[in-house]
Each structure stands twice: as structure tokens, then as C-alpha cells.
Amino acid sequence: MLFAPLTLPNGSTLPNRLAKAAMEESLAEPGQLPGVAIQRLYQRWSEGGTGLLITGNVMVDSRALTGPGTIALEANTPLAPFKAWAKAARSNGGQVWMQINHPGRQVMANMGGLAWAPSAVALDLGKHSKLFAQPVAMSAENIAEVIQRFADTAYAAEQAGFNGVQIHAAHGYLLSQFLSPLTNRRDDEWGGSLQNRARLLLEVVRAVRARVSAGFSVAVKLNSADFQRGGFSEDDARQVVLLLNELPVDLIELSGGSYESPAMQGRTADGRTLAREAYFLEFAQALAAVARMPVMTTGGITRPAIAEQVLASGIALVGIATALSVAPDLPKHWRAGNALNAAPAPVNWKDKTLGSIATMALVRRRMRALGAGGNSGGSLSPLWTLITDQFRASQLTRRYRKWLLQ
């Protein structure tokens, strides 16, 4: 079942049911471009046997990044580095989709640039809140510009040789901010009712689909819930899936959480307990029952038995993230009948926010090692990794701010 092909609504076929879910690589070269390191990383994953590779965040606006090492692709960006990246990722017969995104308010304060949001509601991370920029409520012109940018980036991705895009509307980024009543307090046509809060996502999907060819895949990443009291709920997610059913969407990936409630790392702000592996499977099953397009779910999957369980429950595609940073050839092992243990040790620190940042730093460190042609396995110190990651981030931030001024 794991290695059976999957034909999507647009007629294109994935060679198997295993997808590398997005992980932010932070490997941008100067100018926010992909380079040799990210080519090598995706070559490794391609050789490892994953049927679909979904890239980490690629930003639709270079003035608004989730981090200083993030790649950006705009209407006037040179395509040669992106063509080399796509070629490496497709080298073993799988597909590669570019995850396209706008961070909205989830922008670090020290980076400069833009922190646009539906409403001027700042992130609440307790004593760490000041790390993030004060958001600015978007005008109608800003909203129109963002829709255009998503379409421009998708078109450029197709020209560069990617097989599809995944529009990121989860994890508290801009489109997710519009969907949540906690962050969207507008009283115009972009706020209030769920129909209005979902309008930006639907307009982005329409604009993207209008710019790309019929065989190019358009997917959406959606939260099954925010896991914050009063936020985007499971029922909201169900209603949004019903709205997306009316559009030519080839796949929905269901995840959950945000910076304030990192459910995608297995932790929630509202106290709900998630499964130890396949965190969002229960939610995904309920949504797959009403979705007309294939559904994928991601969240802590490290074992083939769990991946098989996901497929047996009516989900079309299994998303694997962190485990592929530990073992890039995990699908090859599974196909050979070797249930390799690719589960990293959890970071159980008292300060949950710092623990979450350290968890992401460990994943980035593993991906850097793979991109440098090395091995990502072995036990790594979370504290030392966090310290060196912060130092690297400060260097990249200086480089980015200098670039932004030019």
C-alpha cells in the first residue's frame, strides 16, 4: 500500500504514498536564492525513495521572511538556481512541489521588513513575545498585492520545473491568520464570518490555478485546528474543506498549530493531548470523509506500521518530516522491510517556547549536514545546537538586512 502509485485529480501520478512534508531548511544563499547545499539535500531525499518532496517555505515576498535563511521567489527573481534545485529533486522519478507562503505577523523583530496581518494583533509568547515584530493591519491594496504575489510565485515555480505548489494556510502564517478569529478581527469582506475569513485563501487558490497549466498540481496545507481556545476549530476546518471542494485543488495536507501552540511538534496551548505519532490522524479522517480531493496528514510519523495505519484509515498520502532529516533514505529501508528507527529524542525543556525553538534548530542542523554531503544521524545536544543556530541566525540576519537596504 505504501508503495502503490497515487493519481491526483489533475491526472498526474505520484510514484508512491510517501511524501516529505515541508521543513524550513534555512539554506538560502545571498539574495534569498537556492544554492548547492539545498540541491544536495534534495538529491539525497530523491535518492531515498520518497514519491513527493514538498519544499520548506518559499516566500512570495522577499520583504517578509519567516527567517533570515529563507528562500524567496518573486516575479523578477532569476530562475536558474530554482531550475537546478527542481532538477536535483526530480532526479529519481519523484515529484517536487514548492511550498509557497507569506509569514504575516510571524516575522522576527530584528529582521526588519514587513509584518502584515489581517489585524494588528501581536504574537503572545509570554516573555518571548518581543522577539516578533508588531504587526500592521493590511489594507485592501496589500491584500490584492499578496494574491498577485502567490500567483506570480506559482507561475515562476512551474517555469523552473517544479511539478506543483502547496499553498501554506496552516501553522499561524498569513492565510492561517485570516482564517482564525483570534487573529482576524476585521469587519470588512475579509473578516467576521468564516466565509469572509476564508476568502483570502480561496482567492489565492483561484489566482494560482489561473496562472499555471492544468497538469501542474495545486495543493493546500490547512490546520485541522489551531489548538488555541477560541481559535480556528475542527468544524471551521471542515467548512473550509467543503469550500475548497468547489475549486480545482489536487491535495489537502492537514496539520495543526502555530508558533503560539506548536501542535505540529506535538504540543498544544489548549491542553489537548495528541497521539504519539500521526498527531492529526483523527482530525484528518473526519475531514477526508467530506473532501473530494486526496488528503495527506503529517505529524511525528516515524514507523512503517503507523504509516500503513494512516493509509488504512482512508488517508491517501503519508507526510513524513523530521524522520527524513534523521534518515533521508527511510522509504528505501521500509521498502526493503527494515523498520529503521528514525525518531529523534524529544526536547522536554521547562521553557516550552525555547524547547520548540531548539527542536526546529536540531532539524535545521541535520538538514545542513545532509546538504554538506555528510550524515545527519547520531545524538545531538539540543542546547549546543540552539546556541550555534542562534549565532548562525544572527549572521544571516545581518546579511539579510544589508541586502534589504540595497
Number of domains in the chain: 1
Residue 257 belongs to some domain of the structure = yes
Report residue 276's pLDDT band, with 50, 70 and 90 as the boundaries.
Answer: low
pLDDT at 267 over 70: no
Indicate the range of 184-198, 304-318, 346-360 predicted with least confidence.
Answer: 346-360
Whether residue 60 lies inside any domain: the answer is: yes
Q: Quick one: pLDDT at residue 354?
A: 86
Separation between Cα atoms, residue 223 and residue 234, nearest integer Å: 9
Inside any domain, residue 162: yes
One-letter amino acid at 127 equals K
Indicate whether 109 belongs to any domain.
Answer: yes
pLDDT band for position 127 (50/70/90)?
Answer: confident
**Residue 305: domain span:** 6-405
Which triple of cell numbers denotes residue 242?
467543503
Give a yes or no: residue 204 inside a domain. yes
* 1 in any annotated domain: no
pLDDT > 70? residue 188: yes
Following DSSP, what letter does each residue of 312-340 receive, concatenated? HTT-SEEEE-HHHHH-TTHHHHHHTT---
CA atoms of 300 and 318, how far apart (whole Å) = 11
Average pLDDT over residues 133-143: 96
pLDDT of 270: 67
As a whole number of angstroms, the distance between CA 204 and CA 219 comes to: 11
As a whole-number percent, the residues of the chain with pLDDT over 70 amount to 96
pLDDT at position 398, please? 97
- Look at residue 339 in the predicted model and tell me its pLDDT: 82
Identify whether 17 is part of a domain: yes
Grid cell, residue 332, equals: 528505501
Q: Which residue has the higher pLDDT, 30 or 341?
A: 30
- At 71 the three-state DSSP class reads strand
In a domain, 345, yes or no: yes
Judge contact between 319 and 278, C-beta under 8 A: no
Grid cell for residue 262: 506548536
Which domain CATH number covers 62? 3.20.20.70
